[in-house]
Amino acid sequence: MTTCERESQAGETRASYSDDEFGYRDQWVEGGGQPYTGKDYGGKATEILTTGLERLYSAPVGFAMHDPGHFELIVRILNKL
């Protein structure tokens, strides 16, 4: 993972976040996503797949244009199913 700023999710749009939940403001935000994509579950999981699926469903063209690497990852995963 790249060096990035750790950001609390408590102030974000989803009210269910608690003060101890963190995501990473890095390439996910630069590609039009949100820090929640890089949410850290103690090194065991992230939200990369779930937020990618959400973006693919809600705005596929914008997702492909603004974050082609994440878009390609999600499409490749779906093609393996």
pLDDT of residue 35: 77
Print pLDDT tens along the chain (81 aa).
344 445 555 444 333 456 667 666 677 778 888 878 877 787 788 889 999 999 999 999 999 999 999 999 999 999 998
Contact between residue 45 and residue 28 where contact means Cβ atoms under 8 Å apart: no
β-pair type (22-25, 5-8) = antiparallel
